[in-house]
Structure 1
Amino acid sequence: MEPYYYSKMNKQKQIVYHSLMQGLTSLADEIKIPYLEGNELYDVFFQLRLDHPEIFWASGFKYKHYIDSSNLIFIPEYLFDKNKIKEHQKAMKARVEKLSRPATNYSEWEKEKYVHDFICENVRYDKLKKSYSHEIIGPLGQGVGVCEGIAKAVKVLCDALGVWCIIAICGNNPEKGIKYRHTWNIVKINGKYYHLDATFDNTLGKEETFGSEIRYDYFNLSDKQIFRDHEPVLVSVPKCEDGEHFYYKEKKLSFTKKEDVYKRALQTAKKGKIFTMHWRGGYLTKEVLDELIDIIQKAGEEKQKKAKISLNWTQAVLRFTFAEEIVMAEITMEDANEGERIDCR
């Protein structure tokens, strides 16, 4: 199967893509390629690394062009010296093989969940934004990463497990306070395309009240769902039109009736557990949200407890638990991906 972004390129760019692939793989100091304009060359280099995140050592480039020449001299910039790159290559190959081995016989959906859960359990967001956090060696080698590195790690693991996966990237939006572009994945499960944003799920659910429960607010979303809080993609990707198989609906944790929310809240208050649910009984307006909060609080009062509620409003996901020691209900607004202000440059 052709790499996704490669398949969208014209013949000239594909020739350059092949030359760069060969040169970067062999750790060449210079690579002779057919002439492209600077912005086109950047696009080919950038998209090659989206198709092949296992090439983690190529961080940038310069180029030389001689007048009247039909070629360019491409000069790669490497993250490490060549001996160190080879050490990291060996370590990353062994790491990916080890991580993927337990899930070899899983279904496609189970493999996707396995990769997602690994990220959420083992990778933390790198607020210092080290250079290697943009590559797979951050999440897979150091346990840290930014969205670009996390999306690349997801793709490498999905590739190893035979799950169709690409990396999607959107632009910034200063008017909304979104300073940097964001990166996530699109997967194909049972023949249908879905958005998977392990970074957003990884940044949710870190409050002390609720512990470190894995979240699935961005697991197998449709275009309609994901673009509620993601900007449009910079490069064309497959349409994700199925909105019926996202995680919470598959697990029967998506509700359309308020009485069902009330019943589950009563059970949660009785058992002293934490409960995460999705609301799809129409738009989650402020009025509907107030009603749901009142229902959850009422369930707690019946058990002489007060509600602690966490809300991801854009994705209509509520998480709640109950406690005896607080005087008033606590309601926390969650903001996935630190308000989308993550630097993925």
Structure 2
Amino acid sequence: MIFSLATFRRFNPFSRPSLRLLPAPAIAGTRAYTHSHGVAAKPLQHHEGPAHVYPFFEPVTETLQYVVVDPISKEGVVIDPVLDYNPASGEVTTQTADGILAFIKENGFKIRRILETHAHADHLTASQFYKKYLPGEPLVCIGERIKQVQKHFAPIYGFSDADMANNFDVLFKDGEKFKFGDVTCEVMHLPGHTPDHLGYLIGKRIFTGDSVFMPDVGSARADFPGGNAKDLYASISRLLSLPDDFELFVGHDYPPPHRGHQYAATVASHRKENKHGREGISEEEFIKLREARDRTLAAPRLLHPSLQVNIRAGKLPPADADGRVRMKIPVRVPASME
């Protein structure tokens, strides 16, 4: 069942020796972001069960965000929320988050945690915005291996140890469980795309982030620092070892031309049809296929703004002396220009 709805390695933006950090345009104004109290967003669908699932699609970055709620207590979580960012103008806005926030308040949901599947490189997280505007200051959560990601990227963006300290409220271990209302969520470590990557198992539904995508898309790239195709194959195999009727809810969808956006498919569908991880594809074949594919991929459009915000749990960079928040963009400079 399916629910509808320049290359990275050749130019490696993470190679440190020849990088200069140049400021991008300041974020518009001196405030952290522009907040407009929007009307409630409409979810793509309402999935009932022991936990109710409400998917929301952000079209610019093609990201799926999820509100998952215990229908009795109305306690819930938000998974992978998006903060809108225009790199040309340097403006951060909250239109996407405003709509979901209004939906949460309209339905009387009590959000206890904001769950990040990993430190995203293709969109900014809205975790801090939700934490600020939702009652009770929900906990911002991510996998414990975010420390490895932070250690790699902090010097690239000029962050100090103090800048990197105590940004996330909870660092999950593999197999850890927690509850919201009477609903239990189990944490699954799914490395490969990134070393910190998690999935969240809630009942028979797994929120997979950027590990597997829809069956006709396959899998996420595995060429980010600390990621690798071997680990990703193991993570996909772990997901596809679950029972046939379990459903995988993806973090993005990049559909082929013949269909619209979708966001979930059963384990059985993936075993039979996933173009990268279906039954019969060996680890060696997967690694060869994934690495060849990754060599053709450009760096994500919002790579540097996303990472310097997301490794700090959605906190924007500290303001300069003039009160403006600025992103930093590592730039390769040829020797002839130095």
TM over 0.5: no
The structure showing larger relative contact order (alpha-carbon pairs under 8 Å, at least 6 residues apart) is 2
Flag the structure with higher helix content.
1
TM range (shorter): under 0.3
- Please give the TM-score of this superposition, normalised by the length of structure 2: 0.28
Flag the structure with higher strand content.
2
